[in-house]
Structure 1
Amino acid sequence: MPGADSDGGDLSRGVLRGAEWWISRPDGASGRLPVVVALHGAYAGAEQWRRKLDLDDAHRASGARFALAAIDGGVHDYWHPRAVGRDPRSLVLDRFLPLLAREGLDVARPAFLGWSMGGYGALMLATEIDHAGPVVATSPALWSRFEDSAPGAYDGPTDFARWGILGNHARIDRLARDRVRVDCGASDPFVPGVTELRRELPSAKVRFSPGAHNAGYWKRVLPAQLAWLDARV
């Protein structure tokens, strides 16, 4: 069940099918707020990522008029169905969004924000529903070939072909609206994948700036990302 956060602020928490979740609401907010679903990176969960990037504090400081929500998606499941039976895609789209609606949020046009594994997940999940809102992918884990992907990110070449972004024309076409922002540090190992995404998806707002694949860079670009989302949700 959700409960008040001991650190103060409008932060609620709960557990859904064994996955921890949290919701950050703007101070003094009322009514059915739009929601941005935040997708964490690998080897951590929603709560660890909240603390790693001070997400709820950044959210409240931004003055954004939307709720920010996150749920555990597995430490290395890459937000899509896995052969072992875990399915973070369904958890988000079929379970978490209805929970957010029951929590009083407007999920008619959910937006997505993610980092690394979650950056890829934000792009991928936005292609899975017709009514997705804006998408922000930070240092997204993108590869052009299965052979280059991180061990365990996909169950095999067929899995990669179905759930990958680069070279997947059906997914690229579904993202080809003026609603995608991608931020990546110039020293990030995913620069090649992001560069390829910019070529395949010229409508995306791709920004390279000094930084690496770490929390320092992600926290530095977060305020501008939240403002970008706030102008579009």
Structure 2
Amino acid sequence: MRSKPGVTRRGLLFGSAAALVSACTGRSAPVVAPTSAAPASSPSPLKASITIHRRHSAARGRDVDVVLMTPDGIPSTGLPVCVALHGRGSNARTFMDLGLPAALTAAVRSGTPPFAVVAVDGSHYWMPDGDDDPHRMLTDELPGWLSESGLRPMTGLLGISMGGFGALNLARLRRDVTAVATCSAALFRTWPEARSRHIFASQNDWTAAEPLQHVDELPPRGLGVWCGEEDPFLPANRKLITSAKPEVSRITPGAHTSEYWQGILPEVLRFLGPRLT
């Protein structure tokens, strides 16, 4: 099922403004997530530092957004990094509209060790598709972009829907990843299920990439799995839970929607923070 996180008019204006600044100046565009006005007696609003870099990806053959999100008031330099992979039909800015920046600030204020979340534009289940190879972008280009931004190497992965597939597939190859969290991971128990998505050129391509076909290669610790009870990918996520035996698994009310992901993000971020060693 194609994930379509909700996009508000406010979010569109916010994202467009950042892109305009970046395009006009040729530099990254620092922006602050909008917050509602709070009464004078209330705690300070949950803000976050958000910087959008426009990078050229040779692996993808196009420019992509790299969105850096950090807790309010905490410099990004030296922070552990969790890379966030979006769902099908979405992009890196989706995580801003889902409220991740404010949720990250709230998690840190509640005692979670601070960390940065970096999202980047991808496609094709984060797998190669002709000359467009988002997987190679993650393995060969993103580490350099993180270093240039003064960030530590990636040690965590967060994936929503298609991004859950990509996060698990990448974690198989990266032993330096110490925490992986998936939300409604778009996994396939059989080739007919996968073939219906028109993503994989052949059964061999799917078998080589499908996380459920390589459960023994997933990190033995630091895995968290979340899925809604009404999600069409629930059977595949149950199989992941049974086979991989994640450190944390949550099957709770909800569907394959932005509302469900917004609801679980606070718990997901609290899971990730302490494990990004």
Q: In the alignment, residue 228 of structure 1 is paired with which amino acid? A: F
Q: Please tell me whether residue 10 in structure 1 is matched to residue 49 in structure 2.
A: yes
Query: By how many angstroms is 1:11 displaced?
Result: 1.0
For normalisation by structure 1, the TM-score amounts to 0.91
Query: By how many angstroms is 1:97 displaced?
Result: 2.1
Work out whether residues 176 and 203 of structure 1, in 8 Å CA contact, stay in contact via their aligned partners in 2.
Answer: no
Give aligned pairs, total. Answer: 225
Within 1, Cα distance between the matches of 2:32 and 2:260? 28
Q: In the alignment, residue 71 of structure 2 is paired with which amino acid? A: P
Aligned to 2:209: 163
**Aligned counterpart for 2:125 among listed residues 75, 78, 86:** 78
Q: In the alignment, residue 126 of structure 2 is paired with which amino acid? A: W
Aligned to 2:116: 67
Q: CA RMSD in A?
A: 1.6
Map residues 148-187 of structure 1 onto 2, 5 A cutoff: 148-149=193-194, 150-168=196-214, 172-187=215-230
Percent identity, please. Answer: 31
Work out whether residues 134 and 180 of structure 1, in 8 Å CA contact, stay in contact via their aligned partners in 2.
Answer: yes
SS of residue matched to 1:177? coil
Runs of 4+ residues deviating >6 angstroms:
none
> In terms of Rg, which structure is larger?
2
Work out whether residues 178 and 219 of structure 2, in 8 Å CA contact, stay in contact via their aligned partners in 1.
Answer: no
Query: By how many angstroms is 1:115 displaced?
Result: 0.5
Query: By how many angstroms is 1:102 displaced?
Result: 1.5
Aligned to 2:163: 118
Work out whether residues 136 and 225 of structure 1, in 8 Å CA contact, stay in contact via their aligned partners in 2.
Answer: yes
Higher mean displacement: 96-105 or 144-153: 144-153
Work out whether residues 36 and 110 of structure 1, in 8 Å CA contact, stay in contact via their aligned partners in 2.
Answer: yes
Work out whether residues 171 and 219 of structure 2, in 8 Å CA contact, stay in contact via their aligned partners in 1.
Answer: no
SS of residue matched to 1:137? strand
Q: In the alignment, residue 67 of structure 1 is paired with which amino acid? A: A
Q: Please tell me whether residue 142 in structure 1 is matched to residue 187 in structure 2.
A: yes
Within 1, Cα distance between the matches of 2:243 and 2:86? 25
Query: By how many angstroms is 1:205 displaced?
Result: 2.3
Q: Please tell me whether residue 193 in structure 1 is matched to residue 236 in structure 2.
A: yes
SS of residue matched to 2:212? coil
Query: By how many angstroms is 1:7 displaced?
Result: 4.2
SS of residue matched to 1:4? strand
Work out whether residues 198 and 204 of structure 1, in 8 Å CA contact, stay in contact via their aligned partners in 2.
Answer: no
Q: In the alignment, residue 211 of structure 2 is paired with which amino acid? A: I
Work out whether residues 183 and 208 of structure 1, in 8 Å CA contact, stay in contact via their aligned partners in 2.
Answer: yes
- Provide closer, same or farther for how the CA distance between residues 141 and 204 of structure 1 changes in structure 2, counting only shifts above 3 A: farther
Q: Give a deviation string over 1:71-109, Cα, whole Å, max 9, x none.
A: 0002xx101122x221111111211122112111111x5
Q: In the alignment, residue 36 of structure 1 is paired with which amino acid? A: C
Aligned to 1:218: 261
**Aligned counterpart for 2:81 among listed residues 24, 28, 35:** 35
